Amino acid sequence: MRQALIDARGKRTQMDVSSEIGISQKYISKLELGQRTPSLKIAIKIAAYYQKSVEDLFPDIFLLEKPPNSSI
């Protein structure tokens, strides 16, 4: 599960977010559950929408190395 992605959505519904971003609600759900990996283009679109970095929203894909002194 990608908790950062869920937290970024806040009180907005998946349907609201998906229509504003231009992807399906089902795809948003699968991304949040970690069942799908977005293309870089979609990840950037989502990050821009939430005003977060792709690394923050998708650390399992975009952080390839551990930062120093990190528990990731």
Domain 3-62: give its CATH architecture. Orthogonal Bundle (1.10)
- Show me where the domains of the chain are located: 3-62
Work out the mean pLDDT of the chain and round it to a whole number. 90
> What would the pLDDT profile of 11-42 be if each residue is shown by its tens digit?
999 999 999 999 999 999 999 999 999 999 99
pLDDT at 71 exceeding the cut of 60: no
- For 48, 57, 65, the CA distances from 18, given in Å and listed in that order, are 13, 16, 30
Measured at the alpha carbon of residue 17, what is the angle toward residues 54 and 42, in degrees to the nearest 5? 35
Model-level pTM?
A: 0.82
* CA-to-CA dists, residue 30 to 12, 65, 70, angstroms: 16, 25, 27
